[in-house]
Amino acid sequence: MTWKQLLASNRVRTHTTSRQELDALRSIVERDLVDAGLAGLSNDRRFATAYNAALQLAKIAIACAGYRVSGLGAHQTSFEAAELSIGTNVSALAAYFETCRRKRNTLDYDTANTISDMEASEIIQKAEEFRQEVEAWITKVHPQYIP
């Protein structure tokens, strides 16, 4: 998939971001990663909360690249477009979060208590890894948005 194809299919639109917008998204990421680590939270909620942190990180990368996701399938498009933004060094993470997207749909809409402690811990670790990749890319390519 290319930006041109995503634009033509109305899955993204052009967007000019700001440091304020990115900092607001970073605060969501921070909150969600802290919350995902709270003792006593169900594994389902830990998973879904860490997933949301990863989704916001994808949104940050896409915004820095000059786009915003739109239309149906926004979560799926977000991870595809984040990979377009940052590059193939996040391909494995994008594929991982795509699998998580499907699991998150199941636990949010169909069944409870489907996520193991190991799965919840893993997505938290992967979201942290994704945050490091996104922020390193911003530092290298878009230093005007460094926090």
pLDDT at 4: 97
Question: Structural domains in the chain?
Answer: 3-11+18-140 (1.20.120.330)
**Residues 6 or more apart in contact with residue 72 via CB below 8 angstroms:** none
pLDDT tens sequence across 63-106: 999 999 998 899 999 999 999 999 988 999 999 999 999 999 89
pLDDT at 25: 98
pLDDT tens sequence across 16-69: 999 999 999 999 999 999 999 999 999 999 999 999 999 999 999 999 999 999
pLDDT tens sequence across 117-132: 999 999 999 999 999 9
- What gap in Å lies between CA 90 and CA 77, rounded to an integer? 15
The helix (H) or strand (E) run that includes residue 63 is: helix 43-64
